[in-house]
Structure 1
Amino acid sequence: MRKQWSLSGTWTFTTDPKDQGERNYWYEQKKGLPEGREVPVPHIWQRDGGELVNYYGTAWYARTFQVHEFDRSKRLFLHFDAVDYLTRVWVNGSYVGEREGGFTPFEFDITDCLNEGTEQTVTVRVYDPQDNADIPIGKQGSWYTRVSGIWQDVYLEERPAIYVEQIKVTPDIDRSAVSVRYRLSAAAAARQVVHFSVKHHLGDGAAVAAGQAEAGAAEGAFELEIPNAVLWDTENPHLYELELTLDSGNGRTDAKTEIFGMRKVEHKDGMILLNGKPLYIRGALDQAFYPDTIYTAPSDAYIQREIELAKQMGFNLLRKHIKIELPRYLYWADRMGMLIWAEAPNYVKWTKRSMLRFRHDLFGMVDRDYNRPSIIIWSIYNEEWGLEWDLANDPEKQRHVAEMYDELKACDPTRLICDNSGWTHVKTDINDHHRYFVCPDQLEAWERDLDEFVVGRPDRNFVDGYPSNGEPIVVSEFGVWGLPSMQKLKEHYGAQEPWWFINQGEESHQEDYKKPVTAAVNFSRFGLDRVFGSFEELAAASQKRMFRAVKSIIEEMRKRPVVAGYVVTEFTDIEWETNGWLDYLRNPKEGFERLKDFNGATAVMADNVNRNLWSGESQAWDVVISNNDMKSFEGSVEWRIEGTDLSGAVPVKLDGRLHLVLEQAIRFTAPAVAEPGFYKLRLELLEGGRRLAINEEELTVSPAAAGNAGGTAVTLYQMPQSLADAMALRGFKVKAGLDQNAVILTDCLDQDVLNHVYEGGQVVFLAEQGEQLEHRGQFTFRHLPEGESWPRASSFNFVDPAWFGGIPLQPEMGWEADALIPNYVVPFSDYKIAGGRRVIPLFGNPQLGESSEIVSGYFQGWIGQVGGSMIRKSHGQGSILLVTWRLMDHYGSHPIATQVLNKLVQQQAELLERAVSTADSIGE
């Protein structure tokens, strides 16, 4: 009934750096804006590149439009879906209004500004301030590229004098009915009637329910029964349409339609319930940035493909992170059955004005998206952003958060509310945590964190005086980086480096590892080219590490049924941040086809696995089944170790339980093998020959002979006798004293050892205790965080397998190095540590890296924060092979630790032999 005309498309655009446009009446110029050029709207001026990437301040838009089809007995509204940030609008030179805010829609009645002809002119001034700390911004301009301009759609709409302004539909699945509240633009005239009808969205058009009521006041409400209502859920996202029309007695004057779904969200006994059934969240953080259009999805087809990919990866929810999502995206989430966790963009500075602006956006989001069945959670704050990170100590802010929860709950009691996502809670429906660990490096620390904090102490995640009340526990942020293909990125951007290779974030995001340009310098500078050959090979290895890590992290949560779900960081890469399961171009990363193995509704997992075995070792491992959909089935778990004759099967009967443990279901003796190698444990959950789930675990098996040293002479200097005895058992000739004919193995680099090396000795310096060692020569160490750490989640440990011929090692250091990955490195790059009251900047030593042979190392992100974990450095006539891998306590019991330490000693022994041979040849 309402006519609409799109104004998206070509506009004229110009910047106004001196803010002179209003003073010079640019809104009155019929010839167009000075120095204007054509741009497509929606338009974000930063996407135009060049100086506009970092342009702040004022810009202008203008265009003409026709009104020859407009019924001048009605009203004409100019509608903007969103403009960032402060907007002033003129039509035909007449000022029509101003709007502050960058994320929610607004409109103006422009009827009285129209001229008598058919062609009209609209002019828009947009101001986006550089000093934006007390306006809601989210991550645009703070972490990633800034967003400014008319960044969503614009249209004209014809309406009668009295029209339907808003409809809110509240489903009640228990009564198979809906409660409807509506608002008119003004009180209705006498005898005006409201007609309402419900039909299936995209159905045959037949009404499934209908009725009418007299319209008196400007606001009204009614209830409507929907017989045999079809419920909305992720598997069957059924939608209805409610149409509300006004009838003046002489015919219908206005109509408005809203799409809704019949569904119910609640929490009970530590679980989230959808339509009364437990819902296990398998989510991904989605910041909804795009490689070309920045903040606007390129098309509906693009959105649909994203949601399809998310479902293929096993996700049932996307957490739209501190951004009010596009209406079109939410429509497709409704239609395709993707759950949404929505949250308003944060401000930075705690002021009364910033809080008012934030409230406007938060409640504007809820008001706009109230009818969306896909949205099941609202977040108020994220990690105290805007609360200045002192919620636990500030009673005023605690009261503010509790009041915001109460007010939002009163506004929308149909959804769950998270007060302060990931950090300290005050009043919330979800006890969620943000916990960043990386595996294999921190597996034990992650298990402890889950058992002793996340699951074991729910009250610890609340402000003192605000206890936990059994809310569902969700780990709503965690993740690991996986570098993307540089080649694909450059091809996409026309063989050029994109603007965001120079990090567009603020000062706290200017560390070297957050800058893609760093990789080009450090790849060859610190020996990565020797290990990986090319950056593309490194990127593939980085993605393998990412896959391996998130698999383990997710499986540990799924092994603990009290955890009600998780949200991984993140769905896609965004500019420099590369922890997406898809890269920034939406290409699947390495292992994409296997993500559903551990991220699907049903997962079968091995537990208590010893991944590195000596031949002949007996093993008994558990099998855990995670059954998120709580389906009943009867079948079997079949397992086999590929490349061997080992296999087995155990019967399974699952009577709708969420979780089942089959204790010691996998039993075997590690096979005799001729040489060390990689193997895979393969698990399948079957029902009547139909595969319900599949999984794999990486293993190594080594023959006992692989741990023998072959008579190499070694002196253990000030080392435990137990290690000397263990090495003697492995065939080393253990000597006493600083013998020039034996390799020195020590964790004490005192002056006697240094003098020995200077005279031609060869040392393996076991520096796994790093800066705790009293005698460590001139080497400095960086202690890597052993607990929860966002920066360490971006890390990558590498080793040159060619140095260890015959030992099963992967260049990206996988489960074969599980317990051996170091907690200390020798820093080549500058880095920072947290002090008591301030961050402490510390220097690295790049010259040491450049002058040493780097056998194994560490970096973060884009090859920043580089350090060495095995380096060979010459000293006088000899050399020191410094090693921070954790080898000592695992020697003998861990096959890889044993073989690696043996090899290190043998490598240094070869240098001794060469020195002797050289001396003999000179003597001759």
Structure 2
Amino acid sequence: MKNLVTVLFCLFITTLQAKIPLPEHPRPDFERADWQNLNGDWAFEFDKEDLGLKENWAKGTKSFSKTIKVPFPWGAPLSGVQDEADIAWYKREINVPTAWASRRTFLTIGASDWETTVFLDGNEVGKFQGGYVPFSFELTKYLKYGQNQALIIRVDDKRRDFALYGKQGYGNARGIWQTVYLEARGQNYISSFRFEPDIDKQKVKVVVHLAEPNKTGKNLPLKLIIKTDNQPIEVSQQMANNASSVSFEVAIPNARLWSLENPYLYETSITLGSDEQIKTYFGMRKISVVNLPHTDYPYIALNNKPIYLQLTLDQSYHPDGYYTFPSDQFMKEEILRTKQIGLNGIRTHIKIDIPRKLYWADKLGVLVMADLPNFWGEPNAEARAESEKTLPLMIERDFNHPAIFSWIIFNETWGLRTNVQENGKEVHKYLPETQKWVVSMVEKAKKLDPTRLVEDNSICCGAGHTVTDINSWHEYLPGWEWENYLSNLVKNTYEGSLHHFEVGYKQGRQPNINSECGNVWGYEGSTGDVDWSWDYHRMINTFRKYPKVAGWLYTEHHDVINEWNGYWRYDRSNKFTGLEEMVEGMSLKDLHSLIYLSTGNEISKTVKPNERVRVPLYLSSMTDRSDLGDKLTLQVKMYGYDAIGQKKTWGTRTETLPYKPYINQEVESLLLTMPNEKAVVTLALTLQDQAGNDLHHNVMNFIVEASTPQEINLLNGKKAQLVSVEAKDFSQAKWSAKQWNVMEGAKVNGTGSGYFEYRFKLPSNDFGNATFIAELGAKQLFVKDIDQEKIKDDNYMLGARVAPDKNPNSYPMTDETLFPSLVSVSVNGIFAQQVELPDDPADHRGVLSWHYQPKVRKLNEAGSYGYKVAINVPKEALDLARKTGELVIRLTAENGLSGGIAVYGDRFGRYAINPCVILY
């Protein structure tokens, strides 16, 4: 009968879990069989005046007026409630099954911010202060098994300068934000355990801790079962009487290592006595530092092999759940997204991430840098105590995740500066005594976890390292500045160098890595929403020239409220780089290839017609692949667009490049002859193995500057006369919203409904046909174009919000949301054709818009481009033109779609064309 009750209860729980958010066990690395998920609808009440304790709301007699969806933080859309106060109460009934009566029952909350007090039937069972780590309270002595009981939780989330707030300004983690659950534990239960793998000796050290010393008067049997591909490994140990822990080693012969390519996990069960069993897992892997082969450059190593780190900053936010993701599948997809574009790791930024997301990093093979969240006040005693309390709890919770390779204690010295008086002025300084405390935190972390690397401070903004395992640094630059920066960096970083270190500290043999980079803060006032792919390409090309830098970390994985430079939008919809249109087979993943062919920092170059051009090549192999032989094949193709946007190919050829594992050096340059005409030329590079399999693609562009010809050869072999005007030389324009020019008329914009009119003086009437050609795009009216006021100096980290297109530098990157415009073209007053312009895009295809940007820290509609439009002139319009000697072409944006027209000239957009008419 007892078994039947248990089965029915499990069926009931399974049915219930299907209706609640995040029904999965929140800790695959620490899972007891008997547990009950309490996520879902709870009664809820704000306590704006902090009267709940005085009025004894814990008794359960007060009726709560709202319903909240746990575990989403209040204020997050998925919670169902607005953010109205700093204190709130939760209430629901629980019913603990009688089958649990022989054991101890605990309530566990994965995370709740900040002070959480739990009551059962009016009895206070515990209080916890902290916002990121799990805590449990025992309910056993208050339980009435099989009966409904009132569980009430009070959370006080007042802002405290010493609390580890992190970047909650992007969306506050108010109250409970991780799964709440009940679980049955043994009378003597395990509080923590760790697996310390030693791949060199083919063994793992296991340490198991009890919550309380064993007071049974006898040894308790402890059994470990580790699944393998063959027979499971079974180990029997004893938890001695009066002991609170046991440590032992287990041989793992022929161990399958956890790696990025094969993230193998050893599923394990731990049984203590007759009533305590836990499911978990571990990975056999090693984190260390080794030299990059053929060099003396220290690299972070996985399983004794150097890893070229290609990471992204993961703010780990969701627009509807804030700190909490809507589903386990979403968390899995976050990790898959990272892998699918060729990255090998994430840095979960200023947030101790949700365990199930870390599980998917373990399961799918993505490395993780784990941050301790920061406080925003000064480093006083309260703030230090909060960090000192949370650090060991973070390490204890996440020790068994093989994906985590480093702990970052502080970020950009946030919270580490103190206001002091100097010469009658108040200054904000990183004091020597604070630095000593930071060193003590590093030492504490290394003592708690000697198996991983520990970073004192992910440095930026004038502060340096003290004692650290990683010589990391942050830098945000326009793409063109990376060459000088990295050249100087590698000269200044060496053993004994003071560069990047505080006074009294110096560089040792640490790997040198970038731990935040990109263009977002590289421009005055940040970029806003902009095509990041161009500067990104220049940056990555440059990093691959300097193998002394052992990796980089791009900001960031996805957009957040004030940074729109993510690989994905905030809602995880796609952005488009346009690379796939530039080189057949190319994608963003090519910029993360372990075998990489760089043309250097310059990815577009002004050249003359027929010029002989040298293109430098740098071959970077960050892999030990030895199956490729000693040579690679390089397929070279030159193609592009002439002065009327005709696509042409100017040559293809094959080159041979030397190869060996971990080669990182300049190889023989390419010599190219440019076309003898005005054009935008794309150099498409495809690196192949000897069997013809593509290994890597890259691209470079050349702008052949020449006068627009008066006569041009058409692709059909015919000759045509060409009459053109500059984009800015329209004869008339009228727009309902706004009209303006960009970069002295290189591009002209009209928004709303309206028209541009161009007049073309004809050289003769000796022609039979005419075609109007132009590069046109839809034109959205952005906030920055309505209000030129610059973004105020708001503190984004604490929640300031602005429109992504308010920034003067912004021009939103191409994504899944289109902004079409319907354009009617008339010639000499006669309707010719209606054209739909699909979008107002900006990405890598806007070669000219990037190439001609001045080298200042401001952007002018960078990366924007349009679509080549070719309109045949009606016969009636030609007849009029023969009489008047001109073609008058009007481009009218209709009211039916979003509206607006952008007209691109030959120094902006994608094609080197001005609005023109060809006569033939």
When normalised by structure 2's length, the TM-score is 0.69
Task: Indicate how the Cα distance of structure 1 residues 811 and 112 shifts in structure 2: closer, same or farther if over 3 A, else same.
Answer: closer
Task: Indicate how the Cα distance of structure 1 residues 636 and 226 shifts in structure 2: closer, same or farther if over 3 A, else same.
Answer: same
Report the AA paired with residue 655 of structure 1.
K
Counting only pairs closer than 5 Å after superposition, residues 344-355 of structure 1 correspond to structure 2 as: 344-349=372-377, 350-355=379-384
Task: Indicate how the Cα distance of structure 1 residues 585 and 781 shifts in structure 2: closer, same or farther if over 3 A, else same.
Answer: closer
Q: Say which SS state the counterpart of residue 97 (structure 2) adopts.
A: coil
- Aligned-residue offset at 1:611: 1.8
Query: Distance between the aligned counterparts of 1:132 and 1:797, measured in 2?
Result: 35
Query: Distance between the aligned counterparts of 1:334 and 1:49, measured in 2?
Result: 27
Task: Indicate how the Cα distance of structure 1 residues 456 and 824 shifts in structure 2: closer, same or farther if over 3 A, else same.
Answer: closer
Equivalent in the alignment of 1:325: 353
Matched, 1:625 2:661: no
- Aligned-residue offset at 1:243: 2.5
> Quick check: 2:163–2:386 contact (8 Å CA) kept in 1?
yes
Correspondent of 1:426 among 466, 471, 484: 466
Query: Distance between the aligned counterparts of 1:311 and 1:481, measured in 2?
Result: 23
Task: Indicate how the Cα distance of structure 1 residues 197 and 656 shifts in structure 2: closer, same or farther if over 3 A, else same.
Answer: same
What's the CA shift string for 1:349-396, capped at 9, x where partnerless? 121101111222222111100011000010000000110279975110
> Quick check: 1:481–1:793 contact (8 Å CA) kept in 2?
no
Paired residues in the alignment total: 681
Report the AA paired with residue 597 of structure 2.
V
Q: Say which SS state the counterpart of residue 552 (structure 1) adopts.
A: helix
5+ long unaligned stretches in structure 2: 1-31, 292-297, 419-426, 581-586, 640-647, 712-743, 745-787, 791-803, 813-840, 865-903, 909-913, 916-920
Report the AA paired with residue 290 of structure 2.
K
Equivalent in the alignment of 1:691: 694
Task: Indicate how the Cα distance of structure 1 residues 625 and 194 shifts in structure 2: closer, same or farther if over 3 A, else same.
Answer: farther
Query: Distance between the aligned counterparts of 2:614 and 2:574, measured in 1?
Result: 36
> Quick check: 1:172–1:178 contact (8 Å CA) kept in 2?
yes
Task: Indicate how the Cα distance of structure 1 residues 898 and 325 shifts in structure 2: closer, same or farther if over 3 A, else same.
Answer: closer
What's the CA shift string for 1:10-30, capped at 9, x where partnerless? 211110101111111111124
What's the CA shift string for 1:274-317, capped at 9, x where partnerless? 10001110000001100211111111211122211111111100
More off after superposition, 37-46 vs 682-691 = 682-691
Matched, 1:76 2:105: yes
What's the CA shift string for 1:565-585, capped at 9, x where partnerless? 011000001123211001111
Matched, 1:448 2:442: no
- Aligned-residue offset at 1:166: 1.2
Counting only pairs closer than 5 Å after superposition, residues 864-903 of structure 1 correspond to structure 2 as: none
What's the CA shift string for 1:750-802, capped at 9, x where partnerless? xxxxxxxxxxxxxxxxxxxxxxxxxxxxxx999xxxxxxxx999873789xxx
Matched, 1:192 2:219: yes
Q: Say which SS state the counterpart of residue 305 (structure 1) adopts.
A: helix
> Quick check: 1:686–1:693 contact (8 Å CA) kept in 2?
no
Matched, 1:173 2:199: yes
Counting only pairs closer than 5 Å after superposition, residues 341-490 of structure 1 correspond to structure 2 as: 341-349=369-377, 350-388=379-417, 393-423=430-460, 424-439=464-479, 443=480, 445-453=481-489, 456-457=492-493, 459-481=498-520
> Quick check: 1:197–1:207 contact (8 Å CA) kept in 2?
no
Task: Indicate how the Cα distance of structure 1 residues 897 and 150 shifts in structure 2: closer, same or farther if over 3 A, else same.
Answer: closer
Q: Say which SS state the counterpart of residue 563 (structure 1) adopts.
A: coil
Report the AA paired with residue 688 of structure 1.
A
What's the CA shift string for 1:461-508, capped at 9, x where partnerless? 1112211013111111112359xxxxxxxxxxxxxxxxxxxxxxxxxx
Task: Indicate how the Cα distance of structure 1 residues 654 and 339 shifts in structure 2: closer, same or farther if over 3 A, else same.
Answer: same
Query: Distance between the aligned counterparts of 1:339 and 1:577, measured in 2?
Result: 24
What's the CA shift string for 1:808-857, capped at 9, x where partnerless? xx98896546675336699xxxxxxxxxxxxxxxxxxxxxxxxxxxxx94
Counting only pairs closer than 5 Å after superposition, residues 548-587 of structure 1 correspond to structure 2 as: 548-587=534-573
Matched, 1:306 2:334: yes
> Quick check: 1:475–1:566 contact (8 Å CA) kept in 2?
yes
Q: Say which SS state the counterpart of residue 309 (structure 1) adopts.
A: helix
- Aligned-residue offset at 1:399: 0.6
Task: Indicate how the Cα distance of structure 1 residues 145 and 707 shifts in structure 2: closer, same or farther if over 3 A, else same.
Answer: farther
Question: CA RMSD, aligned part only?
Answer: 3.6
- Aligned-residue offset at 1:559: 1.4
Query: Distance between the aligned counterparts of 2:265 and 2:598, measured in 1?
Result: 36
Query: Distance between the aligned counterparts of 1:610 and 1:68, measured in 2?
Result: 70
- Aligned-residue offset at 1:400: 0.9
Counting only pairs closer than 5 Å after superposition, residues 249-328 of structure 1 correspond to structure 2 as: 252-269=274-291, 270-328=298-356
Equivalent in the alignment of 1:220: 246
More off after superposition, 208-217 vs 332-341 = 208-217
Query: Distance between the aligned counterparts of 2:85 and 2:279, measured in 1?
Result: 39
Q: Say which SS state the counterpart of residue 416 (structure 2) adopts.
A: coil
> Quick check: 2:194–2:208 contact (8 Å CA) kept in 1?
yes
> Quick check: 2:533–2:843 contact (8 Å CA) kept in 1?
no
More off after superposition, 157-166 vs 170-179 = 157-166
Query: Distance between the aligned counterparts of 1:306 and 1:480, measured in 2?
Result: 23
What's the CA shift string for 1:415-458, capped at 9, x where partnerless? 0111100331101111111100122xxx1x32111111355346
What's the CA shift string for 1:717-766, capped at 9, x where partnerless? xxxxxxxxxxxxxxxxxxxxxxxxxxxxx9xxxxxxxxxxxxxxxxxxxx
Task: Indicate how the Cα distance of structure 1 residues 48 and 615 shifts in structure 2: closer, same or farther if over 3 A, else same.
Answer: closer
- Aligned-residue offset at 1:200: 3.2
> Quick check: 2:541–2:599 contact (8 Å CA) kept in 1?
no
Correspondent of 1:676 among 658, 671, 679: 679
Q: Say which SS state the counterpart of residue 132 (structure 2) adopts.
A: coil
Report the AA paired with residue 456 of structure 1.
N
Matched, 1:246 2:272: yes
Counting only pairs closer than 5 Å after superposition, residues 529-608 of structure 1 correspond to structure 2 as: 542=530, 545-591=531-577, 594-607=587-600
Equivalent in the alignment of 2:651: 646
Equivalent in the alignment of 1:183: 209
- Aligned-residue offset at 1:156: 0.9
> Quick check: 1:434–1:476 contact (8 Å CA) kept in 2?
yes
Query: Distance between the aligned counterparts of 1:781 and 1:307, measured in 2?
Result: 39
Matched, 1:635 2:664: no
Equivalent in the alignment of 2:36: 5
> Quick check: 2:70–2:79 contact (8 Å CA) kept in 1?
no
Query: Distance between the aligned counterparts of 1:456 and 1:196, measured in 2?
Result: 54
Query: Distance between the aligned counterparts of 1:51 and 1:262, measured in 2?
Result: 43
What's the CA shift string for 1:187-212, capped at 9, x where partnerless? 322442333334238x78x4134232
> Quick check: 2:635–2:687 contact (8 Å CA) kept in 1?
yes
Identical amino acids, percent of aligned pairs: 30
More off after superposition, 188-197 vs 580-589 = 188-197
> Quick check: 2:849–2:862 contact (8 Å CA) kept in 1?
no
Matched, 1:97 2:126: yes
Task: Indicate how the Cα distance of structure 1 residues 677 and 609 shifts in structure 2: closer, same or farther if over 3 A, else same.
Answer: closer
- Aligned-residue offset at 1:412: 0.5
Task: Indicate how the Cα distance of structure 1 residues 364 and 654 shifts in structure 2: closer, same or farther if over 3 A, else same.
Answer: same
- Aligned-residue offset at 1:159: 1.8
- Aligned-residue offset at 1:898: 12
> Quick check: 1:455–1:562 contact (8 Å CA) kept in 2?
no
Task: Tell me which protein shows more helix as a share of its residues.
Answer: 1
Q: Say which SS state the counterpart of residue 87 (structure 1) adopts.
A: strand
Counting only pairs closer than 5 Å after superposition, residues 221-236 of structure 1 correspond to structure 2 as: 221-236=247-262
What's the CA shift string for 1:869-896, capped at 9, x where partnerless? xxxxxxxxxxxxxxxxxxxxxxxxxxx9
> Quick check: 1:433–1:454 contact (8 Å CA) kept in 2?
no
Task: Indicate how the Cα distance of structure 1 residues 366 and 671 shifts in structure 2: closer, same or farther if over 3 A, else same.
Answer: same
Report the AA paired with residue 211 of structure 1.
S
- Aligned-residue offset at 1:231: 0.5
Equivalent in the alignment of 1:667: 671
Equivalent in the alignment of 2:232: 207
Equivalent in the alignment of 2:173: 147
Report the AA paired with residue 565 of structure 1.
G
